């Protein structure tokens, strides 16, 4: 007697339990047919992989390895402007290339799972560094409430979730707020970027960050104007030490 037929000889409760793997298998197959599990960067199938990026794209990530370099281009970007313990970015960002595709998926296509996963990779890159291990709290660059409502999530918070999972550090997302709604920085010149974010951040509950080493996180750093504007508020908190880490460094924009 075949297995499926034999199941009918079992009590009803045991029949249900015995059929569950069969049902789950077919539901997963149906879900993959209706909504194929594909790599967000290249479109190749991921099958049953729990990683939201295919192996080929994972191997082709344009890693900067800045996290192990004290004197790196992101750190130098803030020299003489913002007193930082450390600054880094995990990927090189070039127009039309892999890093831009990933940022676009996270920021505009609602791929929150990918955002958390990329944050985990950022956390792993920091994990074996002295500065990464000295972080006390992770802070996402805030979105204005209007933009947050429109998008439904803060992409920097997704990255923070991944980083916090790896480093086992808390996330603080209410100490600093973005009080002014600003238009996207993508098509602005360097000077326009700076004027666009001047005085848009404010401290709300500063006491919780007193004497903490804070990691400020954003998706892409280009001129550093937005991070600088937020950082200037954070360093007003007594005893606060500030570091910055971003998913990508857009050096040519």
Do 81 and 191 reside in the same domain of the chain? Answer: yes
> Distance between CA 189 and CA 96 in Å, rounded?
19
Chain centroid offset of residue 31 CA: 27
Residues 20 and 140 in one domain: no
Task: Spell out the residues 6+ positions from residue 21 whose beta carbon is closer than 8 angstroms to its own.
Answer: none
* Mean pLDDT to the nearest integer, 148-175: 96
Q: Give the DSSP H or E segment for 250.
A: none
Q: What is the pLDDT of residues 186-244, one digit of tens each?
A: 555 555 554 556 689 999 988 999 999 999 999 999 999 999 999 999 999 999 999 99
Same domain, 144 and 188: yes
Mean pLDDT of 178-182: 79
- Residue 170 is assigned to a structural domain of this protein: yes
- Which tops the pLDDT comparison, 137 or 37? 137
Which is nearest to 215 in space by CA: 30, 46, 89? 89
Q: For 104-127, what is the mean pLDDT?
A: 97
Question: Does any domain span residue 3?
Answer: no
* Same-domain pairing of 116 and 17: no
Are residues 235 and 222 located together in one domain of the fold? yes
How far CA 35 is from CA of 31, 51, 72, 149, 239, in Å, comes to: 6, 16, 42, 26, 50
What are the residue ranges of helices labelled H in the chain? 3-6, 12-34, 55-59, 73-77, 98-108, 112-127, 130-133, 145-151, 155-167, 190-197, 225-234
102 and 207, same domain (yes or no) = yes
**Which pLDDT band holds residue 31 (cuts at 50, 70, 90)?**
very low
Strand partners, 216: 139, 244
Q: Do 75 and 172 lie in a common domain?
A: yes
Claim: this prediction has a pTM higher than 0.95: no
Residue 231 lies inside a defined structural domain of this protein: yes
Query: Containing domain of residue 217, as a range?
Result: 62-249
| Same domain membership, residue 211 and residue 153 | yes
233 contacts 204 by C-beta, under 8 angstroms: no
Per the structure, the count of domains in the chain is 2
Tokens of 152: 């439904």
Shared-domain flag, residues 233 and 179: yes
Whether 197 maps to a domain, the answer reads yes
Q: Are residues 103 and 131 in the same domain?
A: yes
Q: For residue 91, give the CATH number of its domain.
A: 3.40.50.2020
- 84 lies in the same domain as 34: no
- The answer to whether position 37 is within a domain reads yes
Question: Are residues 51 and 89 both part of a single domain?
Answer: no
Q: What residues contact 242, with CB distance under 8 A and at least 6 apart?
A: 82, 83, 84, 85, 213, 214, 216, 231, 234, 235
């Amino acid at each position: 007697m075949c297995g499926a037929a034999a199941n009918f000889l079992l009590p009803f409760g045991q029949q249900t339990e015995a059929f569950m793997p069969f049902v789950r298998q077919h539901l997963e197959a149906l879900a993959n047919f209706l909504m194929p599990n594909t790599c967000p960067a290249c479109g190749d199938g991921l099958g049953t992989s729990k990683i939201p990026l295919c192996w080929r794209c994972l191997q082709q990530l344009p890693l900067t390895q800045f996290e192990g370099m004290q004197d790196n281009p992101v750190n130098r970007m803030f020299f003489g402007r913002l007193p930082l313990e450390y600054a880094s970015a995990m990927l090189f960002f070039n127009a039309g290339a892999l890093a831009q595709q990933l940022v676009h998926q996270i920021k505009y296509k609602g791929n929150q799972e990918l955002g958390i996963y990329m944050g985990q990779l950022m956390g792993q890159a920091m994990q074996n560094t002295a500065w990464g291990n000295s972080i006390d709290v992770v802070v996402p660059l805030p979105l204005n409430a209007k933009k947050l409502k429109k998008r439904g999530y803060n992409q920097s918070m997704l990255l923070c979730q991944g980083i916090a999972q790896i480093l086992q550090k808390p996330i603080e997302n209410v100490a600093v707020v973005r009080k002014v709604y600003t238009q996207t920085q993508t098509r602005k010149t360097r000077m326009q970027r700076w004027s666009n974010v001047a005085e848009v951040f404010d401290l709300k509950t500063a006491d919780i960050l007193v004497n903490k080493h804070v990691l400020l996180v954003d998706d892409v750093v280009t001129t550093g104007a937005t991070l600088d504007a937020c950082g200037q508020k954070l360093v007003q908190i007594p005893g606060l030490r500030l570091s910055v880490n971003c998913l990508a460094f857009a050096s040519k924009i």
